[in-house]
Amino acid sequence: MSSILKNKKIIVGTTGSIAAYKTPLLVRELMRASAHVNVVMTPSAKNFVTPMVLENLSRSAVACEMFDEAVQSEGAWHIQLAHWADLMIIAPCSATTLGRLANGICDTSLATVATALPTGVPMLIAPSMDTDMWVNPATQRNVRLLKEYGYMIIPPGDGQLSSGLVGLGRLPDIPVLMNYIKDAFTDSPNRFPLDESLLQGKKVIITAGSTVEKIDDVRYITNHSTGKMGYALAAAAKEAGADVTLISGPVHIDAPSAVNIINVTTAEEMFNASVKEFADTDIAIMAAAVADYTPANPANGKIKKDGSGNNMTLELKETKDILAHLGANKTGSQIVIGFALESEKEIEYGRKKLEKKNCNMIVVNSATAPRSGFGGDDNTISILKKNTDEVKSFEPASKIVCARGIVKEIVGL
């Protein structure tokens, strides 16, 4: 658990529910997992747990009152805090706070921070209340709305309630909450869709798959790329509202809906298509595994063995470097993203590629990690950006999860 949550920035919200006595236990477990925690309370939550307890456990000031001077360090503190977070969880969440969030009513510090949370930052809500309140049509309507907004609703448990009744409404135990938090960091983009306004009006080109370099009419040079990462990026960029053109080498997967497809075969064809489309593109994501070399003199027909037992020498020449060309010719308003598949010294080599190819960002793939590289449905990536030494490493996740994370980072550029 600690490897997933280490250095993750998490906002914990708590509300006026008897289950608020579990909030300190959740904060303690997150701190044990080496996460950074800030707590936000509703005023009524102070009837069940004190700010001092949560401040001591989180080692941070607790925000409760909207205009508390203790948290007014950077102007609009709720905006600063919301943009600081990698994830927010409200546990427990009362029926009242459910209603506030569903209807955009920002009359508490907690509701204000939650509403200010940037799109794509996971929001987990763990409702806790008596059964009759939980099944009330108004509560269920609010839950449906929040799910439509992309919030993850953690189902309440079934059992003995503080009222003495037995039924749904219990706040799940801490290990259950911790598992949801862990899952959110690996699967959150599947649960929290990208807002279509993020890249609205932007033209994005994405290269995907491998290229095929002819030796003769029946043989060729290629690699094991399936195109899954590039196709996932096309789907994520489209989800974020972009006008997407996918320049694809030969693949065996279905194209995302509502994207423009340009099918190519060779590295030369991919170079020409990329350069042509780049002229009026805002963002270029070069995810294809383009052949570095191509046969200098491809043969017509099939090369036959002569039976002499001698080796055949195949002369190769370098292909044109698409990423370097786009990086060298981009304008100040264009963004170029490259990929680097490395088997050793991944970050060092990725940073060299970032500088050499004049990219805005490089996505480093590990060729040796168990859930990474060609062929599979998962990937293990790190992101490097120009003019910063920061390395943002992602836990192993599905390629669509990685794609949405990459798009979110691009928006941040």
Q: Which residue has the higher pLDDT, 227 or 397?
A: 227
Beta-carbon contacts of residue 148 (< 8 Å; ≥ 6 apart): none
73 band by pLDDT with thresholds 50, 70 and 90: low
Q: Which residue has the higher pLDDT, 155 or 209?
A: 209
Question: Known catalytic residues?
Answer: 223
Which of 187, 185, 184, 193 shows the shortest CA–CA distance to 241? Answer: 193
Kindly state the helix (H) or strand (E) to which residue 159 belongs, with its residue range: strand 157-160
Cis status of the peptide bond prior to 92, with omega within 30 of 0: yes
Residue 193 clears pLDDT 80, i.e. is over it: no
Q: Which residue has the higher pLDDT, 213 or 79?
A: 213
Please state the rounded mean pLDDT for residues 302-322: 88
Q: Which residue has the higher pLDDT, 312 or 102?
A: 102
Please state the rounded mean pLDDT for residues 105-118: 90
Domain annotation for the chain: domains and CATH numbers:
2-191 (3.40.50.1950), 203-299+314-412 (3.40.50.10300)
Do 99 and 138 touch, CB atoms closer than 8 A?
Answer: yes
Which of 295, 138, 143 shows the shortest CA–CA distance to 211? Answer: 295
Considering only 36-45, 74-83, 244-253, 285-294, which range has the smallest mean pLDDT? Answer: 74-83
Please state the rounded mean pLDDT for residues 121-129: 91
75 band by pLDDT with thresholds 50, 70 and 90: low
- Residues 76-100 as b/e (b if ≥16 CB within 10 A, e otherwise) read ebbeebbeebbbbbbbbbbbbbbbb
- Residues 195-231 as b/e (b if ≥16 CB within 10 A, e otherwise) read beebbeebbbbbbbbbbbbbbeeeebbeeebbbbbbb
Residue 162 clears pLDDT 80, i.e. is over it: no
pLDDT tens digits for range 369-408: 766 667 677 788 899 999 888 888 877 777 888 898 899 8
Quick one: tokens of 242?
A: 């972009």
User: Following DSSP, what letter does each residue of 233-284 receive, concatenated?
Assistant: HHHHHHHTT-EEEEEE-S-SSPPPTT-EEEE--SHHHHHHHHHHHHTT-SEE
Do 53 and 24 touch, CB atoms closer than 8 A?
Answer: yes
Please state the rounded mean pLDDT for residues 104-127: 89
pLDDT tens digits for range 323-377: 999 999 999 999 999 999 887 888 999 999 999 999 999 999 877 776 666 767 7
The beta strands (E) that lie in 264-334 are given as 283-286, 293-295, 316-318
At residue 66, the pLDDT reads 74
Residue 196 clears pLDDT 90, i.e. is over it: no
187 band by pLDDT with thresholds 50, 70 and 90: low
Residue 178 clears pLDDT 60, i.e. is over it: yes
At residue 150, the pLDDT reads 76
At residue 285, the pLDDT reads 98
At residue 211, the pLDDT reads 96
Beta-carbon contacts of residue 309 (< 8 Å; ≥ 6 apart): none
At residue 322, the pLDDT reads 97
